Structure 1
Amino acid sequence: MQRREALATLGAAGLAIGLPLPAPAAPATRKPPRLRAGDRVALVSPAGIYSDPFDFQLVTEAITAMGLVPVPGPHWKDRFGYLAGTDQGRAADINAAFADPAIRAIFAVRGGWGSARALPFLDWKTIAANPKLLVGFSDITALHLAIQARAGFATIHGPTAGSSWTKYSYAAFRDLVFDAKLPLYRNLPGDQDRLVQKEGRFQTLRPGKATGRLLGGNLTVLTSLVGTPWLPDFSGAILFIEDTDEAPYRIDRMLTQLGQAGVLRKVAGVVFGQCTNCKPSDGSTSLFTLGEVLRQHLEPLNVPIYTGAMFGHIDDQFSLPVGCRAEIDADAGTIRLLEAPVA
């Protein structure tokens, strides 16, 4: 099932309607611990189901290859429709991982849809008191942003445990969370057999440099949090967004909502990553292109903006610490981290 089809069933999330929302937690004053060989890390499924035993074996082998000890959550085999168990069950695994002092970090096994449904069931007092790295992207955006709104420590927008973990992606992740380095991210150069490279390119929409904390993730998920208690304040932030399988008119609709909700006018800069397979569904060339949509909504912001950065639904991707300060250079197409996400 495509994410947009699953989003159409949002009414099913009425299971959580009527629950008292947690009071905002005070921002954490401690950073999550850096990872070291031998650390135990939790594997959780906040969203879509991941039931094939062999595929899950590959996940545990990838985590083991990092020198870490995978600890699957009790509910990883559960199934509730297209979700990996009930909202309460998925939240219970996340709560247990944050509460367990033996667990050093938490990896989402996959994305899909469903993380937002679990947010009202999370123990935000315990989460805020126990900063730990949460790792994943796509639908995990809901957890990243909610943690910024409710707990205030850094998390990692990077591959899920079930991603391919290429040499590049793993090196970027290791530099950040094992070694606490401050990398300068720029796209890998293309190696196509052609005079002018097309792969690895970026485009500058507005020149200049900007500094702010990194906030963002998947555009569809981010937009779905507008009007909820789970969206952090974007004042002075560097907004980074990506998506997949969305026609330009849907990107147009979502950016319109972010603009009219006042989110876009608050940011200090924007980096648009990869929008995989974001083409008109009917193949028409008479409609707005993705590039035209981005220019219409982003250029009027008058802040540094570039597109094409290496994050999103791709194999080789940056690991971006959500909530940490960074500097973007829209002319050079770079993101320079200014603080480490780990202690």
Structure 2
Amino acid sequence: MLKANVLKRGDTVGIITPSAPAPVLFKERYRRGIKQLENMGLKVIEGSCSKEIQSYRSSSIRARAEEINELIYNDDVKAIISTIGGSNSNSLLPYIDYGYLIKKPKIIMGYSDVTALLLGIYTKTGLATFYGPAVVPSFGEFHEMLPKGKEFFENIVMLKKRAPYELEVPSEWTEEMIDWNSQDREKKMVLNEGWKTIRGGNSTGVLIGGNLNTMSGFIGSEYFPRLKGAILFIEDSFKDMAIQERSLSMLKVNGIFDEIAGLIIGKHEHFNDLDSPFTFEELLIEVIGEINIPILANVDIGHTFPSHVFPIGIKATLDATKGTITFLEDGVEG
């Protein structure tokens, strides 16, 4: 596996806006996110699409791809972090200079719709990418980034902790929605009920995954990774039970549940069960069937906060019986 160098104080971070135009729509929160990175000792270069808006997207497909490539070519840039997700990062996959990333790897990080870029880059290059915080929703939190979120980021990409590294269950979390342009208080945190064993067991494999809904935009393509023996992690946001059945069945009919060694399911931000007479966990078992793999749910990854940073491509152990996830190797060199 290819790894970028550890991110250090004084390094330069490049910011991309590969889908939704969040820096324009949420200017104060975006500025706060940039300031948070600077307060952590990092220099920031804003990408060429950070001040652009075309309705649902920042700019054209080519312009958004060029924004990424410009930062890939900039040897001063050690990490590339997305401003937010959206719906259309998969449009950029044919235009990224994967060959240059192989020669000069960088940390690439984001979540949600950026799953397409993270998995596409990993598949094409073998470079470990990072399912982690984005500038606007995470680094730009009011009045500053959640301390645990900051800690999880620094643990992984700045190597404040070294592998083997067992993830902690945060004592509290939040999915509260407050209008980003009028927010004047911190979000309310609630007690974390912990991670939930769906099927027990223990397995080790390569950690791969991301946002389940986004996967539908490129599954089966040359940009989607092989999952034989992998520990797959999936998470989603603002979806309902019907859409979850469709998405889980997408994995089923593509044979993914037959291939993976374990499954991690993140907390679902504002899930709508549609008054179904069954739980999401019961639906999951109905779709998966008798395949006997360890499954751990309600994990703090993705759209709820604080969230862990998952390095895509590293070896990890999932012990669903004990309710633990252990990273067996670092995602960066250093």
- Shared fold by TM > 0.5? yes
* Shift in Å, 1:292: 1.7
- Mapped contact 1:141–1:222 kept (Cα < 8 A): yes
2:53 counterpart residue number: 79
Are 1:138 and 2:112 counterparts? yes
Deviation at 1:234, TM superposition (A): 0.3
Contact 1:279 1:290 in 2 (8 A): no
CA distance in 2 between partners of 1:289 and 1:312 (Å): 21
> What displacement does 1:116 show?
0.4
Amino acid at match of 1:317: S
Q: Is the counterpart of residue 35 in structure 1 residue 7 in structure 2? A: yes
Indicate if the aligned counterparts of 1:274 and 1:311 stay in contact, CA closer than 8 A: yes
Q: Corresponding residue for 1:313?
A: 303
Unaligned regions of 5+ residues in structure 1, if any? 1-28, 192-196
Deviates more, 1:135-144 or 1:219-228: 219-228
Superposed CA deviations along residues 117-155 of structure 1, whole A, max 9, x for unmatched, are 111121221222221111111111101110121011111
**1:181 — aligned with what?**
162
Looking at structure 2, the residues matched to 176 and 84 of structure 1 have their Cα atoms a distance apart, in angstroms, of: 29
Alpha-carbon spacing, 1:92–1:336, altered in 2? closer, same or farther (3 Å): same
Amino acid across the alignment from 1:49: P
Report the alpha carbon displacement of residue 235 of structure 1 after superposing the two structures with TM: 0.5
Read off the aligned partner of 1:200 and give its amino acid letter.
E
Tell me the amino acid that sits aligned with residue 72 of structure 1.
Answer: E
Secondary structure, aligned partner of 1:306: strand
Aligned AA for 1:294?
L
* Aligned pairs (5 A) from 1:178-327: 178-179=158-159, 181-182=162-163, 183-189=165-171, 199-281=192-274, 284-286=275-277, 288-298=278-288, 300-327=290-317
Cα distance between partner residues in 2 of 1:98 and 1:335: 32
User: Cα–Cα, structure 1 residues 83 and 156, in superposed 2: closer, same or farther, change >3 Å?
Assistant: same
Q: Is the 8 A contact 2:252 2:288 kept in 1?
A: no
Query: 2:162 is aligned with what amino acid?
Result: K
* Alpha-carbon displacement from aligned partner over 1:32-67 (angstroms, at most 9, x marks no partner): 010111101101001111204323211210111211
Select between 221-230 and 240-249 the one with higher mean Cα deviation.
221-230
Q: Following the alignment from structure 1 to structure 2, what is the Cα–Cα distance between the partners of residues 186 and 301?
A: 28
- Superposed, which structure 2 residues align to 1:326-337 within 5 Å? 326-337=316-327
| 1:148 and 1:323 in contact (8 A); partners too | yes
Shift of 1:113: 1.4
TM-score normalised by the chain length of structure 1: 0.85
Aligned positions, number = 307
User: CA separation of 1:30/1:232 partners in 2, compared to 1, >3 Å: closer, same or farther?
Assistant: closer
Q: Offset at 1:92?
A: 0.7
Could you tell me how far 1:198 is from its partner in structure 2? 6.8
Is 1:169 the counterpart of 2:149? The answer is yes
Q: Which amino acid is the alignment partner of residue 295 of structure 2?
A: I
* Superposed CA RMSD: 1.7
Secondary structure of 2:245's aligned partner: helix
TM score, norm. by length of structure 2: 0.88
Kept in 2, the 8 Å contact 1:273–1:310? The answer is yes
Alignment of 1:125 with 2:107, yes or no, is no
Describe the superposition over 1:188-230 as per-residue Cα deviations: whole angstroms up to 9, x where unpaired: 2459xxxxx9733222121111111111110001232212211
Distance 2:71 2:196 in 1: 40
Structure 2 portions without partners, runs of 5+:
174-189
The structural deviation recorded for 1:254 is 0.9
CA contact (8 A) 1:243 1:312 kept: yes
Structure 1 runs of 4+ with >4 Å offset: none
Identity across aligned pairs (percent)? Answer: 29
Bigger Cα displacement from structure 2, 123-132 vs 141-150:
123-132
1:64 equivalent in alignment to 2:38: yes
